[in-house]
Structures are given as C-alpha cells and as structure tokens.
Chain A
Amino acid sequence: MSVLVFSLVLFAICVLAGVLGSLLGIGGGLVVVPVLTLLFHVDIRLAIGASIVSVIATSSGAAAAYVRERITNLRIGMFLEIATTTGAITGAYIAGLVSGRVLYVLFGVILGYSSLQMFRKRHGHPPLEVSTDKWANSLVLHSSYYDVAEGKEIPYKVTNTKVGLVLMYVAGAVSGLLGIGSGALKVPAMDLAMRLPMKVSSATSNFMIGVTAAASAGVYFARGDIDPYIAAPVASGVLIGALVGSKLLPKLRAESVRLLFVVVLLIISIQMLYKGIL
C-alpha cells in the first residue's frame, strides 16, 4: 500500500470516528487505535500518539459548535475539569502500583453496569425540576438547552455535584492509569448521577476530554510518538467528522443518542474485560 492510499483510507475511516466520537462525547480513540494497530499494523506507541491527537480534534471541533448552540454546560464542564485533571495526574503516578489487568476487569464491569443502567433508564428519566444540591445552586450549574428534535427549550437542574466530582476524579485517574479516553465514564456519571440530559452529558464530556488529552500530548510529541504522516490524516479526518457530527447531534432524538451510547459502551466494556482476562 502506498503512502497516498494509506492516507486516503485512514482519512475516510477517521471521518466516521469523528462523527461517532462527537455524537457520544467519547473522542475518536475508540476507533483510531484498533484501526491503526489491527488494520495497518502501526506501532502501538504511534497509534496512541495519533489517538491523543484525535481526542483533541473531536473535542475542539465539536465543542466549537456545541458551546455556541448552548448544548454544552460550560460551567459544569469547567467545574468538573478540576477533578478530571487532578485525577489524570494521580493516575499517571500510581500507574506502577496497581495491576493493569485488575483495572481492566474492574472498569470493564463498571462500564458494563453503566451501560445496563443507561439502557434501563431510557424511559422515565426526565430532567429534574428541583435541586437541593448546595454546590449546584451556589455555582449556578443549572441551565437549559434548546432541543431541535423536540422543538422546545428543555430546562434541567443538576444534583449530586459531589458524587459527580468523585466520579470525574476516577475517570481522570483511569485515563492516566490505562491511557484511554475517559469519556466512556464521564457521560454515565453526568447522566446517571448528576441527572444532565443525554445530549448535554455528551456535549459536556466532549468539551472536557480535550483538556486532559492536551496535558499528555506535549509528552507524546517530545517523545516522537506523534508521527505527522499518521496524525495528519487522523486529525483532518476526525475534525471534519466532528464538524459533521456536531451538526447531527441537535437533530437526533435523545433516546437514539442514548441507545447508540449504550451499545458503544457495551463494546468498550467487553474490550476491557477481554484485555483484563486474556
């Protein structure tokens, strides 16, 4: 395969990765790493370098639209970034102390359980109208967004801010420990614990994942793990995919986004269990 063909094929696949990542708030790494390593037999380090770039590309590309369209809850995103960034640093430091296999099994189970819960609550999970959460009230985290699919403004109140912070810390630590994007944990935490609407959870997770990835990108760059001829088609493909995905999300029904998320989460969960057990 010539370099030109490689670039074009990779670009096309990454457009799809960008669409999926921007719709679900999980970044593009989920697709990029297996495609590069299994399909193109690229060195795993270069694949992870490209994946970091893809996460930042999905995050920034989609967030530009989601923030403007007010689907992202900026204040919640910025507030929770306290926990994700701190978690990412801690995770990287305790990485040597805990067994990777145990973690894969543990998070495989957690993600599988979250997937099931999100499936079970697909109906009858309306936004809260009243919240007694002191932090959410004092930081004015409650908001509303205009749902194009339903054609109306949807107000929502936020709860369990402290639980959310703890879960985001764990999500950050997992990404530091296992080197994977933590959007898969962030979305269920916002949806199930903090009670954000599905689209808001996805858009806000999308907003946050770029920051954690940016923190590690400098290191990968200096180490020479970000190969321009791999990262260029990945970045441009994912960016274009994210721009398309961000136009799509507002029009999709929240239940459809939720179901797609449930399926993808289940796949990630099985992948993690597989890595941990075998």
Chain B
Amino acid sequence: MSDISNGQERKEQSKLDLAEEKVRKVEIIISTVLRVGVLTSLTLVVVGLIVSFVHNSGSLVNSSVREKFYISRAYHFPHTLGAMFSGLSHFDGTSIIVLGLLLLVLTPVVRVAVSIFTFLYQKDGKFMIITGYVLAVLILSFFLGKTGG
C-alpha cells in the first residue's frame, strides 16, 4: 500500500477517534438527563399513588373500578397546571402523580434541548442545526396540538 493512502487512512482514523470522543461526552450527558428525569418521575408517581391510597383508603381500596373512575368520565382529576399546583399545595396525591407524569413527558423534550447545548459547546454546527430543528418542530407541535404517538 502506498504512503499516500496510508496517510489518508491515518487521517480518517484520527477524525473518527475525535468524533468518537465527542459522541462519548454527549452520551454521558444525555443518559444522565434521561436517568434523572425517569427516576424523579417514577418516585413522584409512586409517592403520589401511596399518598392517594392512604388518604382515600376507604374509597380506593373498597370501591369498584367500574363505579369509580375508569368507565365513566365523570371523575375529575387535575389536568391543567393551575389545578395541579393548587392540589400540590395541600399535598394531594393525585396532583403529585400528575406532576410525576408531566415530568416524564418533559424528559425527552429536555433531552433534545440539552443536546443542542452540548453540540454548541462542541462547535458541531451540523448537529446543532439538526437538534435545533427537532426542538422547534416539537415546540410547534405542542402549539398546533395535533400529532400522533
């Protein structure tokens, strides 16, 4: 093999190594964001469930699912931020669950937002644009209010 192609190969290899190292840092940061988000929301959901069962032990343990909430939609639970915060202020179990679920939903969005900053820090222009676009579409879809799973 000629020297020229060897040199080129080495250059390619060092380019790959550098990229690999950069990716590693982003991986650790993103994994941490996901782990913290997931564990916090899991804790809140479980605490909220326990609090609700302790507070309403009679109705939740004894009453039938059918007559309680699941079939009829007459049962009300907080599904606005205002209702959730007012529930949280008096340690309402349902509102703690809702806060946990909300955190869970926000975790992937935070993950996208954080990766933009890591790419910015690493001066990776292409991936800054890519993740920036994804975050923009995500925010847009929140406002448009129409997307599937």
Contacts and interface: CB of A to CB of B under 8 A. Distances in A.
Contact of A64 (B35, B98, B144): B35
Interface of B is mostly: helix
Interface in B9-42: 15-16, 19-20, 23-24, 26-28, 30-31, 34-35, 37-38, 41-42
Nearest to B43: A236
A210 B108 contact: yes
A235 B71 CA distance: 20
A245 interface: no
Given A3-B61, A78-B127, A215-B142, A43 B41 contact: no
Interface string A192-234: 0000000000000000001111111111011110111111110
B117 interface: no
Interface string A31-66: 000000000111100101001110111011101110
Contacts of B146: 89, 92-93, 95, 176, 216, 219
Given A180-B149, A228-B101, A3 B45 contact: no
Interface in A118-150: 139-140, 142-143
Contacts of A179: 148-149
Contacts of B30: 63, 67, 74
B44 to A, nearest CB: 10
A5 B64 CA distance: 9
B149 A216 contact: yes
Nearest to B29: A67
Nearest to A63: B34
A56 B34 CA distance: 11
B88 interface: no
A78 B133 CA distance: 10
Contacts of B24: 70
Contacts of A213: 108, 149
Nearest to A79: B130
B46 interface: yes
Interface string B52-87: 110000001111111011110101011110000000
Contacts of A88: 141, 147-148
A56 B107 contact: yes
Contacts of B70: 6, 40-43, 46, 227, 229-230
B119 to A, nearest CB: 9
Contacts of A229: 52, 69-70, 77, 94, 97
Given A74-B23, A219-B146, A82 B34 contact: no
Interface of A: 1-7, 27, 29, 40-43, 46, 48, 51-53, 55-57, 59-61, 63-65, 67-68, 70, 72, 74-75, 78-79, 81-82, 85-86, 88-89, 91-93, 95, 139-140, 142-143, 174-182, 210-219, 221-224, 226-233, 235-236, 239-240
Given A82-B134, A140-B16, 20 more contacts: A1-B64, A3-B65, A40-B70, A41-B66, A57-B38, A57-B104, A60-B38, A63-B31, A64-B34, A67-B27, A85-B138, A89-B147, A174-B148, A176-B148, A211-B112, A213-B149, A218-B145, A228-B48, A228-B98, A235-B42
